[in-house]
Amino acid sequence: MLRLIATRFALGLLTLLAVSVLIFICTQILPGDVASAVLGQQATPESLKVFRAELGLDKPAYLRYLQWLLGVLHGDFGKSLTNGRVIIDELAPRFINTLFLASYAAVIAVPLAVGLGILSAIREGRLTDRLANILTLIAISVPEFFVAYILIIVFAIKLAWFPSLATVDSDMGLGMRTYVAFLPALTLTLVVMAHMLRMTRNSVLSIMSTPYIEMAFLKGLTRSRVVAWHALPNALGPIVSVVALNLAYLVVGVVVVENVFVYPGVGQYMVDAVAKRDVPVIQACGLVFAAVFVTLNTVADILAMLANPRLRRRR
CA distances for 63 relative to 19, 60, 66, 259, 310, angstroms:
17, 5, 5, 33, 46
**Domain residues of the chain, as ranges?**
87-312
Q: Higher confidence at residue 186 or residue 276?
A: 186
Cβ atoms of residues 285 and 269 within 8 Å = yes
CA nearest neighbour of 77 among 288, 248, 254, 236: 288
DSSP label at 310? G
The percentage of residues in the chain with a pLDDT greater than 70, rounded to a whole number, is 85
Q: What is the pLDDT of residue 35?
A: 65
Topology classification of domain 87-312: MetI-like fold (1.10.3720)
pLDDT in tens, 218-234: 777 777 777 777 777 77
Using DSSP's 3-state secondary structure scheme, residue 79 falls into strand
DSSP label at 86? B
pLDDT in tens, 25-73: 777 666 666 666 666 666 677 776 776 776 666 677 777 788 778 888 8
pLDDT in tens, 143-198: 878 888 888 888 888 888 888 887 777 777 788 888 888 888 888 888 888 878 88
Q: What is the pLDDT of residue 30?
A: 63
DSSP label at 85? -
Q: What is the pLDDT of residue 307?
A: 63
Cβ atoms of residues 183 and 263 within 8 Å = no
Task: Please state the separation of Cα 289 from the chain's center in Å.
Answer: 7
